[in-house]
Amino acid sequence: MAVNAVLKQRMLDLGLTQEELARQMNAALLRITGSPGDVSDRTVRNLLSGATRRPIARTRRALEAVFGCPLRELGFDLPGTTASPEDPVERRQFIAAGPALVLVSAAPVAGAPRRVGASDVERLHRRFADVITKDHRHGGQLVIEHKAAALADEALSLQASGNASQRIRRQVYSSAAAFRSSAMWAAIDGRRFDDAVRHMHAAQQLAEMAGDPYIKFRIWSHAGTMYRHMGRPADAAAVNEVARKLGITRQDPMFASLGLARKGAIHGVAGDGTATRRAFEQAQDAMLRADPDDHRPVWMNAFYDQAELDSLALSAYLALGDFERAEAHGHRCLAALRPHMHRSKAIATARVARAQLEQGDVDPAVASAMSVPADAATRHPRVVGMLHAFGVRLKAVAPESTLAHTWDQYARETWRQPA
C-alpha cells in the first residue's frame, strides 16, 4: 500500500490539513449536488495512505472541484469500466445536479488546463463592483440576487478551468464568497429570508476556503441584519458578535464602527434604549478614529459612512419609539447621503415620514412620504411595506383629515401602481 505522494504534495501546496481538505470537499459536494457531503478525516487519510486508489464518483468529483484538475493528476488510478455498486446512485445524483456540475467539473477534464491569473481576478472584481452599483440603485430585486449567485458560480467554474497559484485560488474563492454575500443581501432586502439563509451558508463556506476576514465580516454582519429584520434580536446579536470579534475590527476602526452601529440597531429592536445609545456613541467614536485614506474593500467604501451610521440610528430609535431622536438622525442621514444611494434615500425618507407622523406632524409626514421616488415605492419590498404601514397608521392618527384623503388618492394613483 503506497502513500499517495502526489496528493500529499498538492495539499501542502494549498496549505490544507486533512481536516481542511475534508471540509472543502464537503463544501464542493454541497455546491454540486445541493446536499451536504459526508467526507471525513478518515476518508482523507485513506486517500493519502493509498488504501483508496480508485475513489468512488462522489469523492472523485469533490477532489477535482477542490484541486481544479482531473483525478489522474492527483495520483489516483483511473476508474475502470466496471462500475462499483455505488456508481448508479452517484450517476443519478450528478445527472440531477445538472448545470451546477458542468460549471464545477467539466472544464478540467477536457484538454490542457489554462492558467488562471491576476487578470481573471481583476475581471471578477469589476463585475462585483457592478453588482454593488446596481444594488445601491435598485436594491432587493430578484434579478440582482440571481445575477450575483450566477457570478458566484462563474467564479467557481474558473477555479476548475485551469491551474493557479494558491494566492490566486484564494482570491477567486473570495470573489465567489463576495458574490454570494451580495445575493444574500439582495434576498434580505427583498424579504426573501429563506433564500437569504441559503445564500448565507454557501457564502460562509466559500469565505472559509478563501480565508478572507473582510468577506467573513460582511457575511456575518449581513446575517445580523437578516435576523434583526426577521424579529430575532437574540440571534442577530449573536452573529453580529462573530463579525465584531474578527481581527479586522481591531485593525481598522471603520469596521469596528459598523459592527457597533449594527449592534445598536439590534438593541433598538430588542427595546434596550441604554444599550442602543451606548452602541451608537461608541460607533461614532470609532468612525472619528478611522483613517479615511485606509485601503478597504469596494463594498465597504461604497456604503458605510456617516449617513449609514445615522440611517442605522434612525432605524433603532424608531423601533424604540424615540421618534424625535429618530427624525433628527434621519435628517442627518438624508443630508449626507451620496448621490448613488438611491435605495438608502428611499428607506430613510419613508422612516422619517413615520417618525414625523408619530410626533403628530401630519403635514410634513405626508409630504415626506409622497417624496419617496415612485420606482422605490412600487418595487422595493422594504419601502413598499413601510409606506403601507405609514398609510395604515395615518388612518389611525388622522382618519378623517384632508391629508389622509390626499394620501389615499396619491397612493392609489402613484406608488401602488406599477412603475
pLDDT tens digits, one per residue of 98-129: 333 233 333 343 444 567 777 877 888 888 88
Q: Greater confidence, 417 or 140?
A: 140
DSSP three-state, residue 56? coil
pLDDT tens digits, one per residue of 138-185: 676 788 888 888 888 888 887 776 677 888 888 989 999 999 999 999
* Helical ranges in 306-401 per DSSP H: 306-320, 323-336, 342-358, 362-370, 374-379, 381-397
Task: Work out the percent of the chain whose per-residue pLDDT is above 90.
Answer: 48
pLDDT tens digits, one per residue of 189-238: 888 999 999 999 999 999 999 999 999 999 999 999 999 999 999 999 99
Q: Taking 60 as the threshold, does the pLDDT of residue 331 lie above it?
A: yes
Q: Taking 60 as the threshold, does the pLDDT of residue 96 lie above it?
A: no
Residue 23 confidence class, pLDDT cut points 50, 70, 90: confident
Amino acid residing at 200: M
Q: Which residues, in sequence order, are bridge partners of residue 163?
A: 115
Within 10 angstroms of residue 181's Cβ, the number of other Cβ atoms is 29
Judged on CB neighbours under 10 Å (0-12, 13-18, 19+), 126 is: exposed
Instruction: Confirm whether pTM is higher than 0.85.
Output: no
Q: Which residues, in sequence order, are bridge partners of residue 162?
A: 114
Q: Taking 80 as the threshold, does the pLDDT of residue 418 lie above it?
A: no
pLDDT tens digits, one per residue of 374-387: 877 777 888 888 99
Alpha-carbon span 419 to 415, nearest angstrom: 8
Contacts of 340 (CB under 8 A, 6+ apart): 133, 136, 137
Q: Give just the sign of the alpha carbon dihedral 362, 364, 365, 367.
A: positive
Alpha carbons within 13 A on the beta-carbon side of 60:
22
Q: Greater confidence, 91 or 58?
A: 58
- Check residue 114 and give its pLDDT: 66
- Check residue 79 and give its pLDDT: 57
Contacts of 11 (CB under 8 A, 6+ apart): 17, 18, 21, 48
Alpha carbons within 13 A on the beta-carbon side of 168:
19
Q: Greater confidence, 246 or 143?
A: 246
pLDDT tens digits, one per residue of 177-189: 999 999 999 999 8
Alpha carbons within 13 A on the beta-carbon side of 93:
19
Alpha-carbon span 197 to 194, nearest angstrom: 5
Average pLDDT, rounded, for the chain: 84
- Check residue 108 and give its pLDDT: 41
Domain boundaries in the chain?
5-111, 116-211
Alpha-carbon span 300 to 304, nearest angstrom: 6
